[in-house]
Structure 1
Amino acid sequence: MKAFIIDRYKSRDGLRAADMPVPELRDDEVLVEIHAAGVNPIDAKIKDGEFKLILPYRLPLILGNDLAGVVVKVGSRVQRFTPGDEVYARPDKDRIGTFAEFIAVNEGDLAAKPESLTMEEAASLPMVVLTAWQALVERANVRPGQKVLIHAGSGGVGTAAIQLAKYLGATVATTTSTANIDLVRSLGADVIVDYKQEDFETVLHDYDVVLDPLGGDTLEKSLRVLRPGGTVIGISGPPDPDFANELGASWFLRLAMTLLSYRIRKQARRRRVNYSFLFMKASGDQLRKITPLIDEGAIRPVVDRTFPFESTREALAYVESGRTKGKVIVTMR
């Protein structure tokens, strides 16, 4: 099958087209013919080796973390799906590889594709809606009337998280550039901070939850807009000891993550707020909970550009440029 792979991290060749074998099915897996795949910043980070300590992939590696497609074969223990079913998913972290014609996905990671969406639209959602759900519903337990700040509101995670937070009944603030104000307002943002014109920490106060996909200075400033007891959930790091425990990391990685997050956790304690690192997980069960919200129109996909499969390298380069609004998609069929 045709695929786009990396042979080694930080290679000068980067992502390249290759012929790879069609994956062999395990008993609990489903073989999916991929029709469209989402392109995410994590793809670039994996390519550059940023996760090689916590995600020790065997190279060569097919990249890609979002898919929509059609089931063509199922393992002997699969009960939920049959050939011909239209599905979407974020494969588990150790079974990625959606920049390809086929992929084997654990049954538990798949969900039926939303009926209201095209394949391209469906492929844009799994990673970002799961991230938003795990941050706002599972981790923060956002309730009606709370105040939630979503950074980078025009990005992939931001566009999904604004809509989900609004659905949950929160007052939603977001940061974005001047050019994207109309977009984030159309998604439901109540308070919009144009980061080119003003600093969010000077205008926002007493927030219950902050979702931060940016890290760095933005993460530190976010601590200062929270009410006492509030929480910043970071998805760009630094990883914290809870994540190390969840990962079952070695003592070395546990120590490294403790040290990496020491400063931000100390600052959070001083301000009587919380810092939590989120590395989203694949979950077909959660996608099945989210799918009705999509079909009802509470969450809609935001697709910036669509590239043909043979232009996957260009699609990833466009994502790396940081200029995207919502998601970028590659289409196989």
Structure 2
Amino acid sequence: MKAIVIEHYGGPEQLKLNEVSKPNVGENEVLIEVYAIATNPAEWKMREGYFKDVMPFTFPHILGYDVAGVIREVGRNVSKWKIGDAVLATANGSYAEFTVADENQVVAKPENINFNEAASIISTSMTAWTALFIDGKLTKDQKVLIHGGAGGVGSMAIQLAKHAGAYVASTGSTSNVNFLKELGADVVVDYTNEDFTKVLHDYDLVVDLVGGETQIRSYQVLKKGGTLSSAVGIIEEGKVEGIHTASVWVQPSGELLTKITKLLESGELRAVVKEVLPFEEDKFQRAHEQLQTGHTRGKIVIQVKE
């Protein structure tokens, strides 16, 4: 099968299209023929070697995590799934024509969305859910500020927070103001010409998807006892007494993903796909280059098969 492989840590040019062996299926796993792959910011950081001290790779290595496709083989102990099922899943090594996933990390694809949309919501929605409801403990009528609302995680976070009955503010560039309002944000601060700390006050939760100075200044808009939940890591020296902090770490969960797909089925949540690219070496490289800018609206998806 074809796969995008890296042989060394480094830049986007390390992403190479190679022929590799199809993965073997464990007794509690399924083999998925990949139709669509969602690319994630964490993957370019892994490629660069940011996490090599805690998650070292054995090379050659296939990146990728979010996948949608059709089951082509099931392990001998698998009872939940059958050959031919259309699914989405979290699966290590998804930059390939086939990948394997634990049966408990697989979810049925909603019929009202396509494979590209299905792949796009996996990590984004679980990260947003964790930041809002697990770490942030957001409840109805509370106020939440979401930085980076136009990105993959941010666009899910706005929708999920509104669905929960929260009052939602978001920051974004001028070109994304209307988009953020369309997602459901009650108030949008254009960070290119407004200071969010001057217009937002007494918030229960900040979901930080940006980091740096934006994170440090976010303490100013939180009420005492509020929470700053960051998907990009907490800056320790920026902490403020009386404010809770949480560094978001997502535990893959088929159960959580099932809850999210039900919202997609009902139309209460929609996938946000910025661009769909073909399964080609230079397109993966281009996707990673775009992700590294930190300014991507929605998700970049690689389509493997129609």
Same-fold status (TM-score > 0.5) = yes
- Residue 46 (structure 1) shift: 0.6
Residue identity matched to 1:7: E
After superposition, the C-alpha distances for 1:169-202 in whole angstroms (9 at most, x for unaligned) are: 0000000000011111011000100000111122
User: Which piece of structure 1 moves more, 164-173 or 286-295?
Assistant: 286-295
Residue 263 (structure 1) aligned with residue 237 (structure 2): yes
Q: Which residue of 2 aligns with 1:79?
A: 79
Q: Which residue of 1 aligns with 2:50?
A: 50
Instruction: Compute the TM-score of the two structures, normalised by the length of structure 2.
Output: 0.95
- Residue 54 (structure 1) shift: 2.2
User: 271, 274, 298: which is aligned to 1:301?
Assistant: 271
Residue 145 of structure 1 aligns to a residue whose secondary structure is coil
Residue 319 of structure 1 aligns to a residue whose secondary structure is helix
C-alpha distance in structure 2 between counterparts of 1:291 and 1:128, whole Å: 13
Q: Which residue of 1 aligns with 2:258?
A: 288
After superposition, the C-alpha distances for 1:104-143 in whole angstroms (9 at most, x for unaligned) are: 1111111111221000111110000011111212222211
After superposition, the C-alpha distances for 1:24-77 in whole angstroms (9 at most, x for unaligned) are: 111111110010000111111111111112222322111112111001111111
What aligned pairs does 1:91-170 form with structure 2 within 5 A after superposition?
91=91, 96-170=92-166
User: For the Cα contact (< 8 Å) 2:12–2:289, is it kept in 1?
Assistant: no
Q: Which runs of 5+ in 1 are unaligned?
A: 239-260
Residue 324 (structure 1) aligned with residue 296 (structure 2): yes
User: 265, 277, 285: which is aligned to 1:313?
Assistant: 285
Residue 210 of structure 1 aligns to a residue whose secondary structure is strand
Residue identity matched to 2:27: D
Q: Which runs of 5+ in 2 are unaligned?
A: none
What aligned pairs does 1:198-213 form with structure 2 within 5 A after superposition?
198-213=194-209
C-alpha distance in structure 2 between counterparts of 1:308 and 1:273, whole Å: 45
Residue 181 of structure 1 aligns to a residue whose secondary structure is helix
Residue 196 of structure 1 aligns to a residue whose secondary structure is coil
After superposition, the C-alpha distances for 1:257-284 in whole angstroms (9 at most, x for unaligned) are: xxxx5424xx23x2x0011101212111
Deviating 4+ runs (over 3 angstroms): none
- Residue 312 (structure 1) shift: 1.9
User: For the Cα contact (< 8 Å) 2:13–2:285, is it kept in 1?
Assistant: no
User: Which piece of structure 1 moves more, 292-301 or 315-324?
Assistant: 315-324
After superposition, the C-alpha distances for 1:127-171 in whole angstroms (9 at most, x for unaligned) are: 000111112122222111000111111100010000000000000
Residue identity matched to 2:89: A
After superposition, the C-alpha distances for 1:286-315 in whole angstroms (9 at most, x for unaligned) are: 111111111111110111111000122222
- Residue 20 (structure 1) shift: 1.4
C-alpha distance in structure 2 between counterparts of 1:235 and 1:148, whole Å: 15
Residue identity matched to 2:273: V
Residue identity matched to 2:162: K
Residue 330 of structure 1 aligns to a residue whose secondary structure is strand
After superposition, the C-alpha distances for 1:188-247 in whole angstroms (9 at most, x for unaligned) are: 000100000111122111111111111111111112211111111111114xxxxxxxxx
- Residue 12 (structure 1) shift: 7.6
Residue 234 (structure 1) aligned with residue 230 (structure 2): yes
Residue 313 of structure 1 aligns to a residue whose secondary structure is helix
Residue identity matched to 2:50: E
Residue 159 of structure 1 aligns to a residue whose secondary structure is helix
Q: Which residue of 2 aligns with 1:224?
A: 220
- Residue 16 (structure 1) shift: 1.1
Residue identity matched to 1:294: L
Q: Which residue of 1 aligns with 2:7?
A: 7
Residue 184 (structure 1) aligned with residue 186 (structure 2): no
Give aligned pairs, total.
303
